[in-house]
């Protein structure tokens, strides 16, 4: 399918768009809520299209771009959105600039901008403020005329409601725009069984007036036909026909704007809407991975509320904290900056760090500290093949360069010592890469805590985690996990399934570790294994021996 769009200077742009993208582009409602399967072009096409229309329709306007974490916005949401703009012909430093003062030939914004660190600034003064729920201070005191958010299933309802109160003002400049005081939110299907996923977006369906949407669509199709007639007249160089059709187009555009005021489009669609682009191979690869996953992420089926059998069955919402980012450094780190450990509010820079490491074609590292009665998981990081533990060591040293006590106590799988005699085991290699980089000491000392450790079987871990997460054993610390800075750990723990084999033995089902690498960080059990090595340490395991049978007491340290 071809989508043809006529610019004001009568130049013609021809693009491909799937059928739902065309509907979104034809209706251009005040509000758009889209629950669309992974790979459905919701960001590169639908969000990018709406953003371009807003730029043209509201020059100089302040708009908020929201994500759950600033890091996710930097690494995932923004690059995908900018790729959509690129595909539609807009380039950085030509049509917009990121995180810096705009060039003099760009038009001024209506709002006052003190710092450009969190701003994407467009040629006509339209500006996007990058905001995340883990850095609420960025939006403090600001007013916006529209809000855009991707991966909305990670937005807690009360937090996003608080942010929406900042969508106000500037009525004298923008009240005539259809997009004024609107919302644009997209996501794949939220699964409330997962901690940190919220289904508030499903409630927005009640705001849609179907009759109004049908009228808008009919009007949009008429305008599309008029534009096609205009294209033909331009190609024939018939100036009289062009003038006549332009007057007709102007009349219909007035009707189009009027009927779109205060309109809402709500859609639920599967990835299949984009099957012509993704191809059968992509879809079959997704289906082969796990139907439990794809029925939500791909087919957009609404999950049942009941939770299934989870390996970490005592993991609850109270184990996660959302105030993990310091407000001062939240403002300091902009779109072009890399965060470092100074942003972590629960980090004691004068105490050593604990680390849990899982090795493989994905290397997973969880960093934690014991602070009084609490055991805080502060940060997770990972590398995917072909990157290996040297690249992970660089990430660690760079992130914690401002940490004063440069001691890391590392817990890991005994397999990481398998090649110790050959002096090429992963644990020792990781230790060396942290301690010396580019031939110079980093100041870090890594203590290998799992040398000689026996296997920690699934039943041992299962019973231990039940006790740890229950918080009832006074000899163990209370568990806290940073909701935003340990996003991958959270996803791994809450999605790890429990399997009971034919002999009645408890196991952690690890089929997710066969997923494509790009899906492993959030959806596989890799990070849960790094967490296992971190907490299933000899001194803590002994506190859980009584009351859970022989399996816990049998863990061996050779």
Assign 106 a pLDDT band (cuts: 50, 70, 90).
very high
Instruction: Say what the pTM is.
Output: 0.79
Top-tier CATH class for 317-553: alpha beta
108 DSSP 8-state letter: P
**Domain residue ranges in the chain:** 2-209+263-275, 317-553
Which pairs from 164-169 meet CB under 8 Å and 24+ separation?
A: 166/64, 166/139, 166/142, 167/64, 167/143, 168/143, 168/144, 169/143, 169/145
Q: What is the pLDDT of residues 151-207, one digit of tens each?
A: 999 998 888 998 899 898 899 999 999 999 999 999 999 987 777 789 999 999 999
CA distance 128 to 149: 11
More confident residue, 2 or 458: 458
Could you read off the pLDDT of 32-70 as tens digits, one per residue? Answer: 999 999 888 899 999 999 999 999 999 999 999 999 999
Mean pLDDT score of the chain: 88
Amino acid 419: pLDDT: 44
Q: Report the Cα 76 to chain-centroid distance in Å.
A: 6
CATH topology (fold) of 2-209+263-275: Rossmann fold (3.40.50)
Please give the structure tokens belonging to residue 436: 């010396």
For residue 12, the model assigns a pLDDT of 52
- The full length of the chain comes to 558
In the structure encoding, which two tokens stand for residue 358, read together? 């899982």
Most confident stretch, 96-100, 331-335, 544-548: 96-100
At residue 499, the pLDDT reads 85
Asked whether the predicted pLDDT for residue 545 surpasses 70, the reply is no
**Model pLDDT, residue 117:** 93
For the stretch 221-230, pLDDT in tens is 999 999 999 9
194-237: pLDDT as tens digits: 777 899 999 999 999 999 999 999 999 999 999 999 999 999 99
Distances (CA, A) of 367 to 68, 325, 354, 397, 486: 21, 15, 6, 12, 9
The pLDDT, as a whole number, for residue 331 is 84
Structure-token pair, residue 532: 């296992």
- What is the model's pLDDT at position 501? 80
Asked whether 416 and 450 are in contact (CB, 8 A), the reply is yes
Q: What is the pLDDT of residues 513-531, one digit of tens each?
A: 888 888 889 888 999 999 9
Q: Long-range pairs for 305-308 at CB < 8 Å and ≥24 separation?
A: 305/192, 305/193, 306/193, 307/193, 308/193, 308/497
Least confident window among 89-98, 263-272, 410-419, 468-477: 410-419
Q: Is the pLDDT of residue 289 over 60?
A: no
Residue 352 pLDDT > 70, yes or no? Answer: yes
């Amino acid at each position: 399918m071809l989508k043809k769009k006529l610019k004001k200077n009568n130049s013609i742009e021809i693009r491909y768009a799937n059928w739902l993208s065309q509907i979104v582009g034809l209706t251009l409602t005040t509000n758009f809520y889209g629950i669309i399967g992974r790979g459905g072009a919701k960001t590169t096409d639908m969000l990018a299209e709406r953003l371009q229309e807003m730029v043209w329709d509201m020059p100089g306007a302040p708009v908020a771009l929201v994500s759950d974490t600033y890091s996710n916005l930097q690494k995932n949401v923004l690059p995908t959105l900018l790729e959509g703009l690129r595909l539609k012909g807009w380039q950085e430093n030509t049509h917009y600039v990121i995180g810096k003062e705009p060039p003099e030939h760009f038009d001024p914004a209506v709002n006052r901008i003190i710092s450009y660190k969190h701003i994407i600034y467009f040629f006509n003064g339209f500006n996007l403020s990058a905001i995340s729920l883990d850095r609420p201070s960025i939006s403090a005191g600001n007013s916006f005329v529209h809000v855009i958010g991707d991966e909305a299933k990670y937005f807690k309802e009360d937090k996003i409601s608080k942010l929406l109160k900042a969508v106000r003002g500037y009525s004298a400049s923008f009240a005539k725009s259809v997009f004024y005081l609107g919302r644009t939110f997209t996501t794949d299907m939220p699964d409330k069984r997962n901690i940190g996923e919220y289904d508030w977006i499903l409630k927005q369906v009640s705001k849609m007036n179907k009759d109004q949407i049908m009228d808008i669509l009919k009007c949009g199709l008429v305008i599309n036909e008029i534009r096609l007639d205009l294209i033909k007249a331009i190609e024939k160089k018939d100036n009289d026909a062009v003038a006549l059709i332009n007057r007709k187009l102007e009349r219909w555009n007035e009707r189009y704007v009027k009927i779109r005021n205060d309109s809402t489009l709500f859609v639920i669609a599967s990835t299949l809407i984009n099957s012509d682009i993704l191809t059968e191979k992509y879809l079959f690869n997704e289906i082969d991975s796990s139907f439990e996953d794809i029925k939500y992420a791909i087919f957009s089926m609404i999950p049942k509320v009941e939770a299934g059998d989870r390996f970490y069955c005592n993991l609850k919402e109270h184990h996660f904290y959302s105030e993990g980012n310091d407000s001062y450094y939240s403002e300091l780190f902009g779109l072009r900056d890399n965060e470092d450990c100074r942003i972590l509010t629960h980090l004691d820079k004068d105490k050593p760090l604990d680390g849990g490491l899982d090795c493989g074609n994905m290397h997973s590292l969880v960093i934690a500290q014991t602070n009084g009665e609490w055991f805080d998981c502060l940060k997770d990081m990972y590398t995917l093949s072909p990157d290996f533990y040297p690249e992970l060591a660089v990430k660690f040293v760079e992130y914690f360069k401002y940490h004063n006590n440069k001691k890391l106590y590392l817990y890991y799988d005994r397999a990481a010592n398998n090649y110790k005699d050959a002096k090429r085991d992963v644990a020792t290699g990781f230790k060396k890469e942290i301690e010396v980089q580019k031939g110079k000491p980093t100041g870090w000392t890594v203590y290998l805590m799992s040398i000689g450790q026996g296997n920690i079987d699934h039943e041992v871990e299962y019973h231990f985690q039940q006790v740890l997460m229950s918080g009832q054993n006074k000899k163990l610390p209370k568990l806290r996990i940073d909701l935003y800075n340990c996003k991958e750990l959270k996803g791994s723990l809450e999605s790890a399934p429990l399997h009971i084999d034919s002999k009645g033995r408890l196991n952690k089902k690890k089929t997710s570790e066969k997923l494509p690498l790009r899906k492993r960080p959030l959806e596989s059990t890799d990070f849960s294994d790094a967490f296992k090595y971190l907490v299933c340490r000899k001194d803590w395991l002994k506190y859980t021996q009584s009351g859970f049978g022989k399996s816990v007491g049998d863990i061996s340290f050779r």
